Amino acid sequence: QVQLVESGGGVVQPGGSLRLSCVASGFTISDSGLHWVRQAPGKGLEWVAFIRYVENNKDYLDSVKGRFTISRDISKNTLFLQMNSLRVEDTAMYYCAKEEYRAFHYWGQGTLVTVSS
Amino acid sequence: DIQMTQSPSSVSASVGDRVTITCRASQGISSWLAWYQQKAGKAPKLLISVVSSLQSGVPSRFRGSGSGTEFNLTISGLQPEDFATYYCQQANSVPFTFGPGTKVDL
């Protein structure tokens, strides 16, 4: 069955970096669209980034463009989110999600990123 | 960017009630509208995709409808496990925006 497991969250100072990972099982990530979605504490859901099928089909939320990079390692069936120049407003639970027919059918349990001095 | 709004922002209901949540898009999104349920401390769960396609395992008391820019999620015969927050989401164009959520509670 499809499973997504995120890791890599933690506490980081403003301006710092983190790399999130999402290990996928039950499917091949090269055949799928994968997304990162975040949720600030007590707030709603916010789409962050996607990577679909071919490696250069990526896009980002405007507020993270130039700071975040989505990538994948097909050999490890793993999705990544490299987050640089982190801001307090990036504090959130980060989920990876698998897209099918433009809906997020499967979600991981999330990994918490806290940006604080 | 396409803006998504939801009404009401919260609703108090009882077991057995019928609840309707409305989601509006700032421009046409074709049929790329999904609904998610989220319970406290859990990841969202997909209920309905492409406006009205009920996901496997989701009870038939959940129904999606609408077109163009206005969409509804109706829960007929609310059950105790349905008390949660519900989000709509458009996937017509990037960024794939979510509505602000509707909390259904007792």
Closest alpha carbon within chain A to B29: A102
Shortest CA gap A60–chain B (Å): 7
DSSP for A56-78, please give it: T-EEE-GGGTTTEEEEEEGGGTE
A89 touches chain B (CB under 8 A): no
Shortest CA gap A9–chain B (Å): 16
Tens-digit pLDDT string for chain A (117 aa): 999 999 999 999 999 999 999 999 999 998 899 999 999 999 999 999 999 876 668 999 999 999 999 999 999 999 999 999 999 999 999 999 999 989 999 999 999 999 999
Cβ–Cβ < 8 Å for A50, A56 = no
Output DSSP code: residue B98: B
A27 touches chain B (CB under 8 A): no
A75 touches chain B (CB under 8 A): no
Tell me the pLDDT band of B98, cut-offs 50, 70 and 90.
Answer: very high
pLDDT of res. A31: 87
Chain B neighbors of A107, CB-CB under 8 A: 43-45
pLDDT of res. A55: 61
* AA letter at A62: D
Closest alpha carbon within chain A to B91: A102
Give the C-alpha separation, B98 to B106, whole Å.
24
- Closest listed residue to residue A4, CA positions, set A60, A112, A82, A21: A21
Tokens (6 digits) for B100: 């602000």
pLDDT of res. A103: 96
Q: Is the pLDDT of residue B76 over 70?
A: yes
Which of A44, A104, A109 lies closest to B100 in CB terms?
Answer: A44
